[in-house]
């Protein structure tokens, strides 16, 4: 079973700064099956990125995803106040299961 | 407009069986490219995938919880049901259902908080 490890656990940044979030898989993951979600307090997660690098409908272009194999990155080019949240990566496995990472909290510095 | 809504008890006792219903609209549970998963989140913790049901009624379960879970669907009612047996306080969580399209959860319900306590 693939394990996804996200780092850092918490990222303290100011609005306007660049955020770089990492998701590392315990074994190679198909890029087609790697996604990122944003979750704000009291809300359900929202799909941001699918296929490692494709933005979901309505997602601003300041969000971008990259990576392959075991290392994937979510980048927020310039943090807006509404971007402070928890971010999760997710992969879809060969056993037709989903696995989520432990999350990265992006907080206001 | 795609929506999913979870319903079920807010409080269950230890050892009891939890039954949750996800009612969907805006898509059909028979659509070949779509399925529904249940995902939970203990307070302050990460998301945990539980189970998935495909359009052809095939199912998949979390390895660690497989013995306790059953997922089913009623396409005519647009409902997906999850049962979890032998509930324990560590199962206290917000339970979400989500539409799975391809390999991602593109729509989520609002979630329902289930507390396990005597």
Q: Cα angle at A97 between A91 and A103, to 5 degrees?
A: 40
DSSP labels for chain A?
Answer: ---EEEE-SEEEE-TTS-EEEEEEEEEEE-GGGEEEEEE-TTS--EEEEETTTEEPTT--TTEEEEEEEEEEEEEESS--GGG-SEEEEEEE-TTS-EEE---EEEEE-
Q: What share of chain B is helix, strand, coil (3-state, %, to 5)?
A: 10, 55, 40
**Beta-carbon pairs below 8 A across chains A and B:** 64
Q: Is the pLDDT of residue B87 over 90?
A: yes
Q: Is the pLDDT of residue A89 over 90?
A: yes
Q: Is the pLDDT of residue B33 over 90?
A: no
Mean of pLDDT values over B68-80: 97
Q: How far apart are CA B5 and CA B99, in angstroms?
A: 11
Please judge whether B104 and A50 are an interchain contact, meaning their C-beta atoms are less than 8 angstroms apart. yes
> Cis bond leading into A8, ω under 30°?
yes
User: What are the tens digits of pLDDT across the range A18-61?
Assistant: 999 999 999 999 999 999 999 999 999 999 999 999 999 999 99
Measured between beta carbons, the chain A residues lying within 8 angstroms of B51 are none
The minimum CA-CA distance between A76 and chain B, rounded to whole Å, is 20
Please judge whether A47 and B106 are an interchain contact, meaning their C-beta atoms are less than 8 angstroms apart. yes
Q: Is the pLDDT of residue B102 over 90?
A: no
Residue of A73, A72, A90, A102 lying closest to A33 (CA atoms) = A90
For residue B6, the model assigns a pLDDT of: 98
Please judge whether B109 and A44 are an interchain contact, meaning their C-beta atoms are less than 8 angstroms apart. yes
Q: Is the pLDDT of residue A7 over 90?
A: yes
Q: Indicate the pLDDT class of residue B94, thresholds 50, 70 and 90.
A: very high
Residue of B98, B79, B63, B89 lying closest to B19 (CA atoms) = B79
Classify each residue of B87-113 as buried b or exposed e, where b means 16 or more C-beta atoms within 10 Å of its C-beta: beeebbbbbbbbbbbebbbbbbbebbe
Residue carrying structure tokens 């998301």? B47
Q: Point out the residue among B52, B98, B108 whose CB comes nearest to the CB of A96.
A: B52
The minimum CA-CA distance between B67 and chain A, rounded to whole Å, is 16
For residue B23, the Cα-to-chain-centroid distance in whole angstroms is 10
What six digits make up the tokens of A54?
A: 């494709």
Measured between beta carbons, the chain A residues lying within 8 angstroms of B52 are 96-98
For residue A93, the model assigns a pLDDT of: 82
Please judge whether B39 and A103 are an interchain contact, meaning their C-beta atoms are less than 8 angstroms apart. no
Measured between beta carbons, the chain A residues lying within 8 angstroms of B48 are 100
Mean of pLDDT values over B22-41: 95
Residue carrying structure tokens 């189970």? B51
Please judge whether A97 and B47 are an interchain contact, meaning their C-beta atoms are less than 8 angstroms apart. no
**Element counts in chain B: helices (H) and strands (E):** 0, 11
Please judge whether A44 and B110 are an interchain contact, meaning their C-beta atoms are less than 8 angstroms apart. yes
């Amino acid at each position: 079973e693939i394990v996804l490890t996200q780092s850092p656990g918490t990222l303290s940044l100011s609005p306007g700064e660049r955020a770089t979030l990492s998701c590392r898989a315990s074994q190679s993951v198909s890029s087609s099956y790697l996604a990122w979600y944003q979750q704000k307090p009291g809300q359900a997660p929202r799909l941001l990125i699918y296929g490692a690098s494709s933005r979901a409908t309505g997602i601003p272009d300041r969000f971008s995803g990259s990576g392959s194999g075991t290392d994937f990155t979510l980048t927020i080019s310039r943090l807006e106040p509404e971007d402070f949240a928890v971010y999760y990566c997710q992969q879809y496995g060969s056993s037709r299961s989903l696995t989520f990472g432990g999350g990265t909290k992006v907080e206001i510095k | 407009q795609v929506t999913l809504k979870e319903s079920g008890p807010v409080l269950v006792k230890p050892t009891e069986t939890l039954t949750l219903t996800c009612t969907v609209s805006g898509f059909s549970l028979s659509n070949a490219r779509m399925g529904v998963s249940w995902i939970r989140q203990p307070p302050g913790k990460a998301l945990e995938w539980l189970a998935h049901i495909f359009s052809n009624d095939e199912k998949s379960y979390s390895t660690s919880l497989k013995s306790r879970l059953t997922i089913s669907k009623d396409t005519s009612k647009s409902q997906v049901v999850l049962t979890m047996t032998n509930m324990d306080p560590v199962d206290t969580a917000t339970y979400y259902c989500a539409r799975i399209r391809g390999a991602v959860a593109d729509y989520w319900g609002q979630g329902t908080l289930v507390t396990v306590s005597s």
